[in-house]
Amino acid sequence: METKRNVLIVTDGAESTGNMAGQIGAALRDHQVVSLTAADLAGTEILPAEVYFLGCEEPNPDSFAYLTEVLRHINLVGRSCGVFSSRSEGAIQYLSGIVHDSELTLNPKPLFADDLAAGVLQQWVQDVINPVRYDGGATMGQDFNLDAYIRKVPDFPKKGVLFYDITSILTEPRAFAYCIDRMVSMYQDKQIAAVAAIEARGFLFAAPLANRLGIPLILIRKKGKLPGKTLSQKYQLEYAEAEIEIHPDDVPAGKRVLLLDDLIATGGTLRAARELITACGAVVPEIFGVVGLPFLHYAAVLGDTPVHTLIEYHAE
């Protein structure tokens, strides 16, 4: 099944708005253009980070039948943003009854077919789409201040330790959406066959990523938590020994598996998890963490496996 990701431009099916959407999509590059026809929707999952609607000035029953189906898909996965012409009040009223937990905005600066000269088009993008994307829309730019949403807790779990708490990301939808959107952008073109996540907070970030990418999620848990056939790996903590397990039958042998956790500290658990995955016959091309603490020297523990994070802290 084909999966459409990132930003979609949805038209009302008319040839004129379809041509406009094509030119806008070419100019924006990261947008995918979908014209509302039965062929577009058949066998396609709609998994956007944000959506822009062009046209839809009149509530044409045929056009809105397809548009309704698209919006129902969007409701399952997150937010949408409508960019309509200034004469689209009827469309706004119609769609508001369908879309829930989504933001529909009336475009104050309509774009018409005879306005598509390069300079006009780029100015329209700057005036209309960019403010929606970066000032409260569903997808935020890479300059989003993630640090502001990470709680720092001194003297936890013991005196002298500064704890970087990601639960504050989860309580702020904008910050959580930013993390997932960035992760999708990073890995959607890397031929990842599955995501393997470390118990327990790693599950929270890996699950929506795997869903958005349309690939399996593999759970790596503490010993005794997984039923059935398991493979285990022991590793050394500071003052004790720990053990993690995986379902070997869940690991796609010979395929690329992204290893993910919420925070990368000393790297010991991730190294053990990597050994589990490779013992099952898969390849770990890189390791991802939302937060990285390189001052704890995880690079030396994880060796040649590349490590990527959304934010790093270089001291407690």
The dihedral of CA 119, 125, 130, 132: what is its sign? positive
Residue 15: CB partners within 8 Å, gap ≥ 6? none
What residues pair up with 74 in beta bridges, in sequence order? none
* pLDDT by 10s per residue, the chain, length 316: 344 334 556 565 667 666 776 776 666 655 555 554 444 544 555 444 445 555 555 545 555 555 555 555 544 444 444 444 545 555 556 555 555 444 444 454 555 556 666 566 666 665 655 544 443 333 344 557 888 889 989 899 888 888 999 999 999 888 898 899 899 989 988 999 999 999 999 999 999 999 999 999 999 999 999 999 999 999 987 667 899 999 999 999 999 999 999 999 999 999 999 999 999 999 999 999 999 999 999 999 999 999 999 999 987 7
Active-site option among 2, 15, 29, 238: 238
Q: Which of 155, 163, 105, 97 is nearest to 133 (CA)?
A: 105
Q: Token pair of 19, please?
A: 């041509």
For residue 238, indicate whether it is catalytic.
yes
Q: Does domain 2-134 have CATH number 3.40.50?
A: yes
Q: Which of 211, 283, 272, 265 is nearest to 246 (CA)?
A: 272
* 3-class DSSP assignment, residue 283: strand
Q: In which residue are the tokens 């938590």 written? A: 225
Active-site option among 201, 212, 271, 274: 201
User: Cα separation of 35 and 135, whole Å?
Assistant: 27
Type of residue numbered 11: T
Matching CATH number, 146-312, of 3.10.450.50, 3.40.50.300, 3.40.30.10, 3.40.50.2020: 3.40.50.2020
User: Cα separation of 80 and 71, whole Å?
Assistant: 8
pLDDT given at position 6: 44
pLDDT given at position 19: 72
| CA trace torsion 42, 47, 53, 58 (10° rounding) | 40
126 phi/psi in degrees, rounded to 5:
-65, -40
Peptide bond into 157 cis (omega under 30): yes
Q: How many residues are present in the chain?
A: 316
Residue 17: CB partners within 8 Å, gap ≥ 6? 11, 54, 55
Do residues 277 and 257 lie in contact, with contact meaning Cβ atoms separated by under 8 Å? yes
Domain with CATH 3.40.50.2020 in the chain: 146-312
